[in-house]
Amino acid sequence: MTDRFLEGRVALVTGSTSGIGLAIAQGLGAAGARVAVNGLGSAAQVGAAVDAVRLAGAPDARHFDADLSDAAAIEKMMAALAEWGPADIVVNCAGVQHTAPIAEMPTATWDKLIAINLSAAFHTMRLALPGMAARGYGRVVNIASVHGLVASVNKSPYVASKFGLVGMSKVAGLEYAGAGSRDTGGVTVNCVCPGWVETPLIEPQIAARAEAVGGDRDAGVRELLREKQPSGRMSLPAEIADTVLWLCRRQSHNLTGAAIPIDGGWTAQ
Ligand X SMILES: NC(=O)c1ccc[n+]([C@@H]2O[C@H](COP(=O)([O-])OP(=O)(O)OC[C@H]3O[C@@H](n4cnc5c(N)ncnc54)[C@H](O)[C@@H]3O)[C@@H](O)[C@H]2O)c1
Q: Which range of residues in 83-91, 103-111, 171-179, 190-198 is near ligand X by CB under 6 A?
A: 190-198
Measured from the CB of residue 205, what is the shortest distance to ligand X in angstroms?
9
158 noted as active-site residue: yes
C-alpha distances out from residue 18 to 37, 107, 143, 246, 261, Å? 10, 26, 14, 21, 21
Which residue in the set 13, 52, 197, 248 belongs to the binding site for ligand X (CB under 6 A)?
197
- Identify the residue among 48, 133, 150, 201 touching ligand X (CB under 6 A): 201
Which residues ranging from 133 to 152 are in contact with ligand X (CB under 6 A)? 143, 145
39 near ligand X, judged by CB under 6 A = yes
Verify binding: residue 163, ligand X, rule CB under 6 A: no
- The window from 27-35, 82-90, 126-134, 189-197 that contacts ligand X (CB under 6 A) reads 189-197
Residue of 64, 137, 158, 176 with catalytic role: 158
The residues, ordered by sequence, that sit 6+ positions from 47 with a Cβ below 8 Å of its Cβ are: none
Binding flag, residue 68, ligand X (CB under 6 A): yes
Residue selected from 69, 124, 190, 256 as contacting ligand X according to rule CB under 6 A: 69
Closest contact distance (angstroms) between CB of 178 and ligand X is 29
**Under rule CB under 6 A, residue 194 binds ligand X:** yes
Q: Of these, 93, 191, 206, 244, which contacts ligand X (CB under 6 A)?
A: 93
Among 6, 9, 21, 163, binds ligand X (CB under 6 A): 21
| Number of residues this chain uses to bind ligand X (CB under 6 A) | 26
Q: Does 196 bind ligand X (CB under 6 A)?
A: yes
Contact stretch for ligand X (CB under 6 A) within 52-60, 91-99, 128-136, 210-218? 91-99
Return phi, psi of residue 140, to 5°: -115, 125
Residues in contact with ligand X by the rule CB under 6 A: 15, 17-21, 39-41, 67-69, 93-96, 116, 143, 145, 194, 196-197, 199-202
Query: Mind telling me the catalytic residues?
Result: 158
